[in-house]
Amino acid sequence: MMSDRTIAVLSGKGGTGKTFISVNLACAAAPATYIDCDAEEPNGHLFFQPAIKTREAVNVPVPRVDPAKCIECRQCVDFCAYHALAWTGRELLVFDEMCHGCGGCVMLCPAQALRETERAIGRVQTGEARGVQVLSGFLNPGEATGVPVIKQLLNTGHPGGRVIIDCPPGSSCMVSESIQDADYCVLVAEPTRFGAHNLAMVHELARLYNKPCGVVLNKALPGDDPSRQYCQAHGLPILAEIAFEAQLGKLTSNGMIAVKEDPRYRALFERLLERIDQEACHAAVGHS
């Protein structure tokens, strides 16, 4: 059964195969939408090579001071939790890359000496590749946070079908932002002790936001392993196990999408989609 479900794919660190899983899920689900929220290192588009449709700058507000109005009270410096303002003894400095655009300093300035201007911190790009809408966020190097890029990316319209969100690695505020609208979270884990530790991080985040979730064991080994033990101990369903295969590694390192190249992988990801649908349905019934 087709569904317009939004599926977020998470992993506790980079390099676990999160993008590999996301890209192949989107391809198996086509017509679908793939959203690359890993704005610090977006590379899903390298697999899809989409025909670009739009590019939009992502702007954030930053304060600018009018020295003629400033009464040198330094209240703004004391207020800024991100240390984006500093008083040199002669002038107020604004460190743009550290500013989170909260607007608080502008509101509190007793002399109305601060005003907001806009500054680009990245861009959002849309494109299409054989039935998959490919949306990618790009954060400029050195910027403090990609949350505004992710917000703009997720507010970009898409034509329907399943939505696969390729989240940033870890459990930062960027990941939290990425899973806000997800109906189901797929947690990608490796079969090692570090893998289980990273799995626990993203599992905690999914629980915090009350999102139903299941695990894909990537580079899975036969027999027991710490990630499998974690799933058993916490009642987490294992949605699929993907063994390391040289052919899979070769396809991925060459920027190719496995489900397009080999019917075995297409069948594997179609089964994974079905399993996600079943689990998400059970979770929805359980919540109703």
> Under the rule (CB under 6 A), what is the footprint of ligand SF4?
63, 65, 70-76, 79-80, 82, 84-85, 92, 99-105, 109, 111, 113-114
Nearest distance from C-beta of residue 156 to ligand SF4, angstroms: 25
Query: Given the complex with ligand SF4, which of 116 and 128 has the nearer CB atom?
Result: 116
Nearest distance from C-beta of residue 64 to ligand SF4, angstroms: 10
Query: Given the complex with ligand SF4, which of 177 and 277 has the nearer CB atom?
Result: 177
Coil, strand or helix at 63: strand
Return the half-sphere exposure (C-beta side, CA atoms, 13 A cut-off) of residue 11: 22
Nearest distance from C-beta of residue 68 to ligand SF4, angstroms: 11
Nearest distance from C-beta of residue 11 to ligand SF4, angstroms: 30
Helices 18-29, 263-287: axis angle to 10 degrees equals 90
Nearest distance from C-beta of residue 111 to ligand SF4, angstroms: 4
Query: Given the complex with ligand SF4, which of 106 and 186 has the nearer CB atom?
Result: 106
**Tokens representing residue 211 in the block:** 């999102």
Query: Given the complex with ligand SF4, which of 83 and 207 has the nearer CB atom?
Result: 83
Nearest distance from C-beta of residue 104 to ligand SF4, angstroms: 4
- Name every residue whose Cβ is closer than 8 Å to that of residue 285 and which is 6 or more positions away in sequence: none
Please provide residue 267's backbone torsions phi and psi, each rounded to the nearest 5 degrees: -60, -40
Query: Given the complex with ligand SF4, which of 63 and 127 has the nearer CB atom?
Result: 63
| Sign of the four-CA dihedral 148, 150, 151, 156 | positive
- Reference 278, options 242, 240, 243; nearest CA is 240
Helices 193-208, 226-234: axis angle to 10 degrees equals 30
Pairwise CA distance, residues 195 & 178, whole Å: 21
Query: Given the complex with ligand SF4, which of 82 and 209 has the nearer CB atom?
Result: 82
Pairwise CA distance, residues 4 & 1, whole Å: 10
